[in-house]
Amino acid sequence: MGNEVQCVAKIVGKEDEGKALLETSELIFRGAERRLKIGFSEIKNIKAADGELRIRTKRGEFAFGVGAAAEKWREKILRPKTRMKKLGIRAGMRVAIVGDGEAAFARELKKSKGGIANGAGLAAAELVFWFVDERNGLNGTGSIAKKLEGAAGLWIVYPKGKKQITENDVLRAGRKAGLHDVKVVGFSPTHTALKFVIPAKKR
């Protein structure tokens, strides 16, 4: 995915091995002994050197041995993409929302000057955002997939870190519906989004 790297981290002078994840607005490290979240807003200094991403905050100094990703991550932290760009939303794009979407997301869509439709407008939409809170909600994936046309994309947005619905649940539902998963992004601090499309040979 590009934003997950197994690495050795130096956390205030102590080493730990685990996984570093670059999310929308924070860097997360899940190690064998320590877990850490660093919000972009709390970073005082950041640089990439010798395959390490080195960060200083008021809590101390941290280094993550992410190798070739170090410089790319530094740029993403210093110049983060907007949510609209990460989701592939352009001005004037026809977007449909299914389920209980986030109010802040709806406001961002309006600012992007995209056409927002409800569930009935799926066939004409270029991107569909479907908000699902639990595993059983994925039962409608096949129905939504049948309404997609051409290169339209389906983003399934679901809570992160919840047992009620996992990434594997979402992947399984999309693939069972005949769709191909192409991208995952941190939709918000609480939600993840997985993008599916109709396989090119079936369009």
Query: Which structural domains are found in the chain, ordered by start?
Result: 4-78 (2.30.29.30), 83-202 (3.40.50.150)
What's the pLDDT score for residue 117? 58
pLDDT tens digit sequence for 1-38? 458 999 999 998 899 999 999 987 889 999 999 999 99
| DSSP states along 28-78 | EEEESS-EEEEEGGG-SEEEEETTEEEEEETTEEEEE--TTHHHHHHHHHH
pLDDT tens digit sequence for 78-135? 998 888 988 999 888 888 889 888 888 888 888 876 666 555 567 778 999 999 999 9
Q: Where are the beta strands (DSSP E) in the chain?
A: 4-11, 14-22, 26-31, 35-39, 45-49, 52-57, 60-64, 94-98, 115-117, 127-131, 153-159, 180-186, 191-197
pLDDT tens digit sequence for 157-169? 999 889 999 999 9
Confirm if 91 and 112 have CB atoms less than 8 A apart.
yes
Which 8-state DSSP code applies to residue 136? Answer: G
pTM: 0.70
